[in-house]
Amino acid sequence: QVQLVESGGGLAQAGGSLRLSCAASGLTFSNYVMGWFRQAPGKEREFVAGIGRSAFKRDYVDSVKGRFTVSRDNAKKVVYLEMNSLKPEDTAVYYCAGDRSLRSVVSGDVDEYDYWGQGTQVTVSS
């Protein structure tokens, strides 16, 4: 049974930092492209960042470029999202997701991901 479990969310002040982790089990982690998405109240779920199977390829939504960094540890089966210079508009529930298709690109499409975590709340105060 595939499980993705996020942790590290919480409350931060604007300009602060948080590090999210997503621990995977029940899958061959190194075969999966991993993505981070977020969903704010009343809004659609949006792609934030993604990382290829070997970590060579990474992609980010424009609004987080230069502030967020996605990384992975295939031996530990964990994907991370380091978030710096946080802004109130980063407030959302953050989800990690796994794409099992063995594609060579990082997709930003919600429908391309097969497994999802339960989400972790990130709240940034101004």
Cα separation, 119 vs 98, whole angstroms: 13
Q: What is the pLDDT of residue 102?
A: 85
Q: What is the pLDDT of residue 103?
A: 83
Task: For the chain, give the percent of residues with pLDDT over 70.
Answer: 100
Q: What is the pLDDT of residue 21?
A: 98
In tens, the pLDDT along 21-50 reads 999 999 999 999 999 999 999 999 999 999
Contact residues for 41 (Cβ-Cβ < 8 A; gap 6+): none
* Helices marked H in 1-126: none
Phi, psi values for residue 62, rounded to 5°: -55, -35
Give buried/exposed letters for 77-113 (b at 16+ CB in 10 A, else e).
Answer: bbbbbebeebeeebbbbbbbbbbeeeeeebbbebebb
